[in-house]
Amino acid sequence: MQRILDFLTETGIAPFIDKVAGNFWNPYTISLLIGTGIILTIATKFIQIRKFTLGWKFVKMGALRKDESAKEKGDISPFQALMTSLAATVGNGNIAGVATAVVYGGPGAIFWMWVTAIVGMATKYSEAILAVNYRKVAEDGSMSGGPMYYIRRGFGAMPYLKHIAPYLAGIFAFCGAFATLFGTGNMMQANSMALAFNQELHIPFLVTGIAIAFLAGLVIIGGIKRIGKTAELLVPGMIILYFFCGILIILLNITKLPGVFAMIFQYAFTPQAAMGGFAGHAVKMAIQFGVRRGLLSNESGLGSTPIAHAASKAKNPVRQGIIAMFDTFIDTIVVCSVTGLIILITGAYLPENNPAGVQLNSTALTAHAFNTTLPWIGGKIVALSSALFGYSTIIGWYYYGERCFEYLFGLKQIKYYKIVYITLTFCGSVLQKDLLTVVWNVGDIANSLMAAPNLVGLIALSGVVYKITKEYVEGNKIE
């Protein structure tokens, strides 16, 4: 590992990757992401607010297995599609990523996460609509859909765009497969899990890596139906565990909560002065890290989750879109908020509140925040949550990569993808220090390149989203 790092550093590859990754998250990228969400919010007439209650009704019906949509054509039920997408989105970004956003962006970053989530709900709704509307039946009878399909098929009727459609779709599929293998899909999740278990339970990285690869392989080999069933059983429980433990910590520090909210809103719009050993932050950093971590957590606009929703036994596109937007709500407004509030309410982000007197980051910071209120058990809850979140993300993102890989190379080559995916999952668990940073940066670049063609597709097809939404909502044909 050290030899690889030395080579990347000496050749200038590592510094170059770091610079590129940093430059991707510039004001133009952020404006495009937020702007797309605003455009789709207007096009759908604030669907995330208008149909929030109805969406929650659909989610509850699915959880109680009372959703008759499960009888429609598709591979998995609408609720299983939501759980699969949540399996992929609720990952270690909700634990480690939020901590990183607070350290580098300050408390104001939490506010910009919320903004990303609110407009992102309309984005996620639109992605799911297009995924269901333009999906196709694959050679093996399964459903295939996602940005590569709605870009290629949706642009086909547009004279000025149909010629670039195959290239945009291909770029998305390539970046999707690449990001799954080398980005947030498997290597980063496995690493965060191994780090948490090593710190809290002193389990060697190698042992954790072997266990993760084996358990992931058991589910992955069964395809989307096994992934959907596993997600349906795993995801609700892991979110409830983390949420209620987090709420307990917040309630035990409830007197500090008003001040924390005031701090979040204040530093979202004004520069933050340094306090103690904690560095000050500009508003630009709060926006950059809030939006960046918000997107990488809830994946709105990234183009990954519509691949799962395309496999659902959806009654109609709008119904699935309304269900899909709860992916973003649960991931960011619920889970990420719990992490952020605990880090701020306990003061764990301040170096002077750490026994070692140093600035903590990532999973270690969140574990320390939990331990300040729940000694002995807080860190173990974070370690367990990291394992569950990471594992669910690994199996969820596998499916995204598989569909992208299938789009590029055909169904017969998927077996090779499975082998490489599981192997790299193991490799991710043993990466440490500077080499880990290189892989994180490569993942950030791949995710950004995924988002670019998808956002172009969403903007170009916003008229289709408007038309389908109007047809079903005004015609009362959602249910």
CATH code of the domain containing 174? 1.20.1740.10
Q: How confident is the model at residue 307 (pLDDT cuts 50, 70, 90)?
A: very high
CA distance 172 to 448: 10
Please check whether residue 319 is in contact with residue 111, taking contact to mean a CB–CB distance below 8 angstroms. no
**Does residue 156 surpass a pLDDT of 90?**
no
Give the per-residue pLDDT at 377: 87
CA distance 178 to 403: 12
In a domain, residue 33? The reply is no
Split into its structural domains, the chain has a count of 1
Q: Which domain holds residue 141?
A: 2-11+45-470
Q: How large is the average pLDDT for residues 386-390?
A: 86
In a domain, residue 85? The reply is yes
Give the per-residue pLDDT at 405: 92
In a domain, residue 476? The reply is no
**Does residue 7 surpass a pLDDT of 60?**
no
CA distance 146 to 131: 5
Q: How confident is the model at residue 298 (pLDDT cuts 50, 70, 90)?
A: confident
Give the per-residue pLDDT at 38: 94
In 3D space, the residue among 67, 28, 49, 92 whose CA is nearest the CA of residue 365 turns out to be: 92
In a domain, residue 346? The reply is yes
In a domain, residue 77? The reply is yes
**Does residue 430 surpass a pLDDT of 70?**
yes
Q: Return the minimum-mean-pLDDT range out of 32-36, 429-433, 449-453.
A: 429-433
Please check whether residue 369 is in contact with residue 201, taking contact to mean a CB–CB distance below 8 angstroms. no
- Coil, strand or helix at 312: strand
Predicted TM-score (pTM) of the model is: 0.90
CA distance 447 to 436: 16
Q: Which residues contact 102 (CB under 8 A, 6 or more apart)?
A: 109, 110, 340, 343, 344, 349, 365
Mean pLDDT of the chain: 85
Q: How large is the average pLDDT for residues 410-437?
A: 82
Please check whether residue 350 is in contact with residue 279, taking contact to mean a CB–CB distance below 8 angstroms. no
**Does residue 273 surpass a pLDDT of 60?**
no
Q: How confident is the model at residue 194 (pLDDT cuts 50, 70, 90)?
A: confident
Give the per-residue pLDDT at 361: 73
Handedness of CA 175, 176, 177, 182 (dihedral sign): positive
In a domain, residue 30? The reply is no
Q: How confident is the model at residue 31 (pLDDT cuts 50, 70, 90)?
A: confident
The proportion of the chain whose per-residue pLDDT surpasses 70, expressed as a percent, equals 91
Q: Which one has a higher pLDDT value, 415 or 23?
A: 415
Give the per-residue pLDDT at 460: 93
What is the phi-psi region of residue 282: left when phi exceeds 0, alpha when psi lies from -120 to 50, beta otherwise? beta
In a domain, residue 28? The reply is no
Express each pLDDT in 205-250 by its tens digit: 889 989 999 999 999 988 888 999 999 999 999 999 999 999 999 9
Give the per-residue pLDDT at 327: 93
In a domain, residue 95? The reply is yes
CB count, 10 Å around CB of 442? 19
Q: How confident is the model at residue 3 (pLDDT cuts 50, 70, 90)?
A: low
**Does residue 1 surpass a pLDDT of 60?**
no
Q: Which residues contact 16 (CB under 8 A, 6 or more apart)?
A: none
